[in-house]
Structure 1
Amino acid sequence: MGPVVVFTLLTYVCMKSLRSPHVGVIGYYGFALLQPEWNWRWSLPPGFQYQKFIAASTLIGFLVVGFQGNQFVGIVARSSLAIGGFLALAFISAASSIEPDATAFYMDNLWKIVLMAVLGIRLIDSPGKVLALMWVLVLAQGYNAYQINLEYFEDGHSSYAYRNFGDKGDNNVYSILTVPLIACSLSLALYAERGWQKAVAATIALLQVHEIMLFESRGCMLGCLPMLAVFVWLMPKTRRTVTVLAAMLIMGAILAGPPVVEEFASAFAEEGERDSSAEGRFGLWQAGFEITKDYPVLGVGPYAGQYLVPAYFPGGLDQHAKGLHNLFFEISTGCGLPALVCYLAFFAYPAIACYGTAQATNADRWHRCASLAVVPGLVGYWTSSMFSSGALSESSYACAVVGVCATAIGGRMLEEARAEYDGT
């Protein structure tokens, strides 16, 4: 059934995107998060590059329909230029990389992610498309969260705390991918139109939270705290919403057993009591700061900063390379500080724009739903990324796309309503 379902869906997405290119954007993110090459790896061709087929058909469709979509003004223009500037600076830095092979791997993935983000910003141009993207993100990753939880309840342990789930990275990186989507699930659980939709979204949110517990990612456990705090701050405070969230928090607390509590508490251990992983983070951050200070403009090549860490690490390391375990230093050491500013601006624009909308009682329901997903989701992503890096994980870019498009669509609808009112 794997090849039948996957290739049927892939064919539909590619063909449909030639006339409705937004389908390609939504399908791209769905495939990227579902990871069929992992879930059905025994029945699919190894190394099959389905993303390239979707990206190509989406780009062709965008050209065929005559560049239709959100106008290239305001937040659409600012966000596109920010992420485009980041990619351009990364390519310039790549030309003089100290580790060309590592940089080539990084750039081969990065340009596709940025391309689809920019296409998404232009093509997701209606409330229905925004909500469709959110649901695809939640359902695609929710299937994986279900599989991860299923293994735990069947076997009594989670092997993915010590080995990769799919090709998105280790337990920390995959947890970072999940964090923004928890906010999407929670927002849909509050704002979905039908009761069964709320139940599905709430169930997936619980599975996602428990997944992070099973993965024993302390950085993402910490990242979930400010995400949840911001979510509670921005969400509508009605008896129903408070009851739903309280019930989910109680269930999450029940799922967190003693090993999870012990692992999380170790993040707050005093100096001298921390384990080697926690203690080493401070040395890595110091190394990242020193490398950035020595190579501030263009860095040493995308994904290449890790090869200088052993020489900059306090006391040195007897290794050829060591990951920085920090998104911000990974980008600053690899691509330079200007690239880091562009990268952060891409996420800051929708986060700032959506902050007010999430609390606006006069905003449309779909707009508040999108905004409530974006702001906490990006806060959780930034916090979690202090302890690892998810620059090649699509979920954060998709979350920003939702925020940019919701802001652009909401502004356009407001202008149209004002024009209609003035005309009458």
Structure 2
Amino acid sequence: MATATAPRVDWNLIWAQRGFRYFFVAMFVSLFGSGMNFAGVSWYILAATHSTVKVSWQVIVMTIPGLFVPFLGGVLIDRFDRRYLGVLLDLVRGLFVLLAAYIAWRGHLQLWHLYGMTLITGTGSAMYWATVNALVQEVIPPSQFTGANAAVLIGVQSGMLIAGACVGFLYNTAGIAGILAIDGATYFVSAYCLYRVRQGYVSPRDRQKYPREFNEATEATAEALESGEMPEIAEAGLSLAVYADMREGFVYLREQPLVRALGITHSIMMAGVVSANVVLVALANDILHAGAPGLGFLEAGWATGAVCGGLIASQLPGAKRMPLYVAACAVLAAGHMATPFVAFLLGAVTMQLIFGFCRALGGVIAQSSLMSIVPKHFMGRTQSAMAIFTTVVQLLMSFALGWVSQGAGLIAGYALLALLYTGSTISAIRARQLMRRASS
């Protein structure tokens, strides 16, 4: 097994890649819009219904597609040009968000419109993030995976930072229609940037790069599709090839305990971040009494910490990465237990800053380690498997947080989040042990 190395980050080399510069802008713009959408819609639902359960349904609806889409999505990501897949997903999501913005502008917006829009964008996102994470491998030198992941995370969190700083104030002026319109427009900007990442069609299944990757089912399918003859064989062969690819991916993950441990830890952290929105909105409204601007400050604090965490993670020596990975998970667990007792805005923003820092630190370490370990032709299926597990945890946590917070209070809700991050700490300890064993 290849182990993760920690070469020195060369920012000049990273930013010299024209494709990566476009990729960075795409992530920044996309997350600016998505951050405004998520916070704005959550606040709109809470203001309209005064129910954390209804807010949790937004997270649930966004998450459900992740149970099904990645099974096929991982295969598609490892078969077709990841750039074109990303562009297509951006365009489709942008159209539906703009449609919801138009309905809101006309004054006919109902909750089911928002849930429907969220379901569609969630379906796209279930495949989109695995796609772009795999695409990073193709546009950056392997020696710079850590720096590239840090740069992407900084772009993502910078977009979230500006969105968080603006969303509360824009909500009070432009309303939900304005926020959705901005988000819809950002999808088209992101699609354009992804399109400019490179030229031509690049298949992850290049025979010259991966000569042993094609099995008999794939070869028969390719011959039938290229010749245009025997469509029945082509159709049946394609099904067999897709099934074979899925099985191959599961076999790979079963044989890689380090990849599983890193993936599980990262998935739990991701699920915790998304599902925490259920209680974060209630924290701003019920404990801090800060309204929509207060929610914006909380989101901005989280994103500021994430930007700092990404910058620091990119400079860490290899020997310190896994110990800090474990420490970041432990801080998230302890911090969420304490959060509902911090009843003033500055303190709550500081807590969010710490959480963002820890999440970014852990995310960069996990993703860069995975990119150093996982072969390119397995990355799509690996990312999709992580997305499926993340989805399961998000669904369970969103259901639980909505009901527990409404029935037993926010303290119980945050205690549940602390328990989740305790699980990620245990998994991170396991990953560290396996990493040390693999490198010895």
Q: TM-score, normalised by structure 2?
A: 0.24
User: Of the two structures, which has the highest relative contact order with CA contacts closer than 8 Å and spacing of 6 or more?
Assistant: 2
More helix as a share of residues: 2
Q: TM-score, normalised by structure 1?
A: 0.24
